[in-house]
Structure 1
Amino acid sequence: MRHPVSRAQRRVHHFFRHPTASQLLIQWFVGLILLGTVLLSLPFSHAAGAVSPLDALFTSTSAVCVTGLVTVDTGTAYTLVGQWIILGLIQLGGLGILTFLALALSAMGRRMDLQSKAAVEDSLYQGNVAAQFSDNFRRIVKVVALIELVGALALLVALLPGHAVGHSLYSAIFHSISAFCNAGFSVYPDSLEGLRGNPLFLGTIMLLIFMGGIGHAVLGELALAVRLRWAGRRTGASPHRFSLNAKIALKVSLGLIVIGALLIGFSGTTSGDPVERASEALFQSVSARTAGFNSVPVGQLPLGSLFVLVVLMFIGGSPGSCAGGIKTTTLAVWWARFVATFRGDFRAVLGRRYIPEEIGRKVTMLIGLALAWNLIGVLVLSWTEDATL
């Protein structure tokens, strides 16, 4: 006799046996976090008594989500094996779960349902995602590997004076991947405060953060533009015309860096020297929006600077990148709608194109949900925590 199956049971069965792209994303996301938790909990991954199961879960989640928050010092609490596990989780999370998902579905020859395809396209603010990434994925991976390699070499040069070669090499590799993936993890107990006087190191970190936060598709366009420009000198080929998504990501990202640095510098940093103050303001403006490294004690910054950092963190990076936040394109669409409404125009224009009303409503809903979620988080933390900055 067959027992009747409830609707909840059917949904659970369908979730695991016939998942949509969005559900497959959740499975991969949770599975990777749990795998990282188990690996980081093993004795060879951490110092004796230094990491609890909750610490391992938090670290794994933070690494996969490329957040950078930690409950224990990464450089001392975890062994070399544990740090490499964290680095692997950062790389998998930083390359973009949605990117891997779209490619996996395309490689398997599986057709996306409309809801799944819409979820991927909305997350990247681009149409025909699977086809685009199938064509560009190899080039993007090569560019990412090249950037991380060159970044590691530059960091190695910056670290070699006064440091052992082995330690410098490992630190360069770790921080190059962590910076490009916008993770903010560091093997130093004070993040990058001890390197605030090393302009080559901090400059390389800022460049890696920027390239990791503008989006893999934009990064691919930049690589193509450089290649065509180089080839054009010999063959006379036309330069690459950037897509609207790339133009918005680059312009808004650069604008936020400059405005953020000016506001932080005006509000004040921990240094009185004008040159150091400008350097600190620029680094924190670049890092706060997507990564989370700090070259100064954040808790000692003035309230005005902290408020600027909060706004930059809320905005985040660009679609399809390693960064979080509401995304630069969301901010651009919201600003275009704000300007249009202020002028009394019912049609918002961005890049000489009218913004469909549906996209405008989605942006408004996204910002509203993000604000609500953050306010709820602040409220809950105010109940559970009593520690200061």
Structure 2
Amino acid sequence: MVVRDKTTFNPAKILVLGFLSLILIGTILLSLPIAVNGDRVPLLDAIFTATSAVCVTGLVVVDTGTTFTMFGQTVIMVLIQMGGLGFMTVATLIFMALGRKITLKERIVIQQQFNQFDLQGLVRLVKYIIFLTLIVEGIAAIILGFRFTQLLDLDYATGMFYGLFHSISAFSNAGFDIIGEYRSLTPFVEDPIISIIIPLLFIFGGLGFTVLVDLKRSRNLKRLSFHSKVSLLITSILLVIGFFVVLILEWNNPETLGAVDSGSKIWSAFFTGATPRTAGYNVLPTDELTNPTTLFLMVLMFIGASPASTGGGIKTTTFGTLLLTVNAVIRGTHDVNFLERRIPYSLINKALAIIFISLVLVFIVATLLMITENATFEETLFETISAFGTVGLSKGITPNLTPVGKAIVIVTMFIGRLGPLTLAFAFARGKEKTGVRYPEERLLIG
């Protein structure tokens, strides 16, 4: 009889518990009287806000700029930073500050968090991640701080706080704003500095820390790893396609690009085409976009950012693997090859599993929201994909969700941030390997 070891180390479960702990702490802090203007926010709204911040989503049920005090906004900002960097990155930073060595088990959890292939160089990777994050966010915070000070007529201290908040939120692909009245960045649709700096932040954050570190080390595109090349290629293609689709479909829409000065149409279209990559900010009113644009944005939100990034979705490399597999099947080739490299079938199977589970999850959540909410099919599907992809774009129904609807979206954001496979690995019970391999049999497909 085989005795199962109940103390088997499960890194995926540690990640789940770590993120849950951050959400719990955030909920408690946001429930304090000092965190809100006026009456305390309901407990469910505090949980929703904390989850959205830790899971770097950006969907809100109360307006961040008017509901929360500077203390509450600071709590949200810190939760976004921790959620964007990842639970184990923050824990590693604390361990290093205390002079404690990183154990093998902790390295395995870091490996799980960043989807790395081996354990070598993980602590060095974390140091690079923290360094790059602080540098990028710091420079952007100063630029945005001065700009917000000018545009909103703020004092320098408040303006710099605005700059820091939106810099962290953008780089973490969170999409939270403190402009007020659920306006996101629509008041700055014709401002080139904000409309360019913010997209650059969430594009860099969405590339993935692995790619950013690789770019810093290699300094040459030809010497980049296979993963980095694929991530950069898919990201570039999606950004270009997104830009042209929005520009063409919204050019004459009087509620979106049609109302924008001709000189601002280009960067407004670029911003709108890039933001579904899990950023959540918008300079054009999302609820006024045409149906074809809305459908296209849903596809981009579902794909999301790259692995080991601050974004969600099924990830660019997963989508790319699917395209390459389909191409190989159509061409009748046995191997899936790209850039003179062969993708192993284990990764192809993993990509297919992620896509299938994600589609099933979106279908179930959208169906439940259609039952519980007074909203259209388009609104519920858009909100579902936005929550799963940790995007934060909204058709405007999130503030009016029922308690059941809020709970459903909370769970969806959590699954989207951790990833469906991570949660499956955390709670699935693996069977003991018997060494038996069954006979092969054919099945009619198609």
Match of 2:179 in 1: 188
Cα distance per residue 1:339-384 (max 9 Å; x no partner): 1111111211122111111211111111011111011111011111
Q: 1:138 aligns with which of 103, 127, 131?
A: 127
The whole-number CA distance in structure 2 between the counterparts of 1:352 and 1:280 is 38
- Distance in structure 2 (CA, Å) of the matches to 1:318 and 1:132: 20
Match of 1:110 in 2: 104
Deviations 1:246-277 (CA, angstroms, capped at 9, x unpaired): 11111111111111111122221512255433
Q: CA deviation at 1:332?
A: 1.2
Structure 2 residue 201 is the aligned partner of structure 1 residue 208: yes
Structure 2 unaligned blocks of 5 or more:
380-394, 396-446
**CA distance change for structure 1 residues 120 and 168 in 2, over 3 Å: closer, same or farther?**
closer
Question: In the alignment, what sits opposite 2:329?
Answer: 341
CA shift for structure 1 position 71: 0.2
Alignment partner, residue 160 of structure 1: 149
1:222 is matched with: 215
Residue 151 in 1 paired to residue 140 in 2? yes
Counterpart check, 1:24 vs 2:14: yes
Could you tell me which residue of structure 1 aligns to residue 403 of structure 2?
Answer: none
SS at match of 1:354: strand
Is the 2:33–2:39 contact (alpha carbons within 8 Å) kept by the matching residues of 1? no
Structure 1 pair 28–223 and aligned structure 2 pair: CA distance change class (3 A):
same
Tell me, yes or no, if the aligned pair for 2:33 and 2:40 is still in contact at 8 Å: no
Instruction: Show the counterpart of 1:170.
Output: 161
The answer for unaligned runs of 5 or more in structure 1 is: 1-6, 230-238
- Residues 1:257 and 1:326: Cα distance change in structure 2 (over 3 Å): same
Compute the displacement of 1:221 (Å). 1.8
| Structure-1 residue corresponding to 2:67 | 77
1:328 and 2:321 aligned: no
Q: Which residue of 2 aligns with 1:249?
A: 231
Q: Give me the whole-angstrom Cα distance separating, in 1, the residues matched to 2:73 and 2:338.
A: 44
**What is the aligned partner in structure 1 of residue 411 from structure 2?**
none
Q: Which has the higher helix share?
A: 1
Matched residues in 1 for 2:172 and 2:359: separation? 25
Matched letter for residue 127 of structure 2: R
Q: Which residue of the partner structure matches residue 263 of structure 1?
A: 245
Matches within 5 A, 1:361-376: 361-376=349-364
Question: 1:28 & 1:197 partners in 2: Cα distance?
Answer: 41
Residue aligning to 1:233: none
Name 2:443's counterpart in structure 1: none
CA deviation digits over 1:291-336, x for unaligned, max 9? 1001111000000111111111100111100000001111111111
- Relative to structure 1, the CA distance from residue 326 to residue 350 in structure 2 (aligned partners, 3 Å threshold; closer, same or farther) is same
Residue 24 of structure 2 is aligned to residue 34 of structure 1: yes
Normalised to the residue count of structure 1, the TM-score between the two structures is 0.86
Seen in structure 2, the aligned counterparts of structure 1 residues 107 and 287 have a Cα distance that, compared at 3 Å, is farther
CA displacement 1:193-236 (0-9 Å, x = unmatched): 0111111111000111011111111111222245xx8xxxxxxx
What does the per-residue CA deviation read over 1:103-144, in whole Å, with 9 as the maximum and x for residues that have no partner?
8799442347xxx95x8757644311x323212221221111
- Report if the CA contact (8 A) 2:245-2:293 is conserved: yes
Q: 2:287 aligns with which of 285, 289, 299?
A: 299
Query: Could you say what the CA RMSD is over the residues aligned between the two structures, in angstroms?
Result: 2.5
Distance 2:162 2:340 in 1: 45
* Contact 1:224/1:240, CA 8 A, preserved across alignment: no
- AA aligned to 1:67 is T
Structure number with the bigger relative contact order (C-alpha 8 A, sep ≥ 6) is: 2
Structure 1 CA distance, aligned partners of 2:63 and 2:90?
Answer: 30
Which residue does 1:199 correspond to in 2? Answer: 192
- Distance verdict in 2 for CA 1:76–1:55, change over 3 Å: same
Question: Paired residue for 1:49?
Answer: 39
TM-fit CA distance, 1:288: 1.4
CA gap of 1:98–1:360, structure 2 versus 1, over 3 A, is: farther
Match of residue 428 from structure 2: none
CA contact (8 A) 1:215 1:319 kept: yes
Equivalent pair of 2:92/2:102 in contact (CA under 8 Å): no
What is the CA-CA distance between 1:48 and the residue it aligns to? 2.1
Distance 2:263 2:329 in 1: 41
Q: What SS does the aligned partner of 1:126 have?
A: coil
For residues 59 and 31 of structure 1, the distance between their equivalents in structure 2, rounded to whole angstroms, comes to 14
Q: 1:251 to 1:276 in 2, by over 3 A?
A: same
